Amino acid sequence: MDTSHNLLRNAKESHSDAWNRFVRVYTPLISRWLTRFGVAASDLPDLTQEVLLAAATDLNKFEHSGRPGAFRTWLRTVALHRCRRHWRQQQRNVSVARSDSISQQLSELADANSELTVLWNLEHDAFVLRGMFEILEREFDKQTLAVFFRLTLYEQKPAVVAKQERLPIGRVYKSKYRVMARLRQLAGKFLD
C-alpha cells in the first residue's frame, strides 16, 4: 500500500492538516524501526524528529514515479541515511560487534530486495491500514463494523449475519456498502 499522491502533494504545499496526518501515520513506523536498530530510548524522539524533518525538507525533491511503493522506498532511504549518520556520531560509544551488526542491518535495509526491506514494507502497510481502521472505528458504530468484517474478512453469508445480528438483510448490505465506500475514500487519501 502506498501513500496517497494527494497527501504528499498537500504535505509538499505545507497544508498543515496533510502534514499532521503524515506525521501521525509515519511517526510510529519510524520510531519502531529506529528502536529495532538499537537507537537508545533517550535518542529516539530526537532521531525520529530528525527523520521527519529530513522528510519535510526533501519532500519537494521527491517525484513519485507512479510505481507502487515509491514513497515508501524514499522514506526508507531518508530514515536509513539519518540512522547511519546517527551511528557514525555515536560510533565511539558503541562496541565493535554491535556496530558491525547495525552496519549489516542498515546495508540490508538499503537493498530493495532484502528480507529486511520486505519487512519494512509490510510494517508500513500495517501502519497505514491501522490508521484507516482507527478512522472507521471513530465513524461507525460497533455493529456496523462487525457486520462489515463478518461479510468481508470472514466471508459469512449475509443471511446468517442478518439473523445473528438481528438486522434486516437490507441493513446488512447497506452496512457493508457504507463501510466499503468510506474505506475507498480513505484509501484515496492514504493509498495509491
* Mean pLDDT per 10-residue interval, the chain, length 192 residues: 57 72 84 84 92 87 77 85 83 56 69 79 81 91 96 95 97 96 80 51
Q: Is 63 left (phi over 0), alpha (psi -120 to 50) or beta?
A: beta
Determine the pLDDT at residue 58: 85
What does the pLDDT read at residue 191? 56
The amino acid occupying position 95 is S
pLDDT at 117 (0 to 100) = 78
Separation between Cα atoms, residue 72 and residue 30, nearest integer Å? 11
Which pTM does this prediction carry? 0.60
**DSSP-derived secondary structure for 43-67:** THHHHHHHHHHHHHHHGGG----SS
Q: Which CATH number fits domain 5-131: 1.10.1740.10, 3.30.70.100, 1.20.140.10, 3.40.50.300?
A: 1.10.1740.10
Residue 66, CA distances (Å) to 6, 70, 74 in order: 13, 7, 13
Q: Return the pLDDT at 6.
A: 62
Sign for the pseudo-dihedral over CA of 124, 128, 133, 138: positive
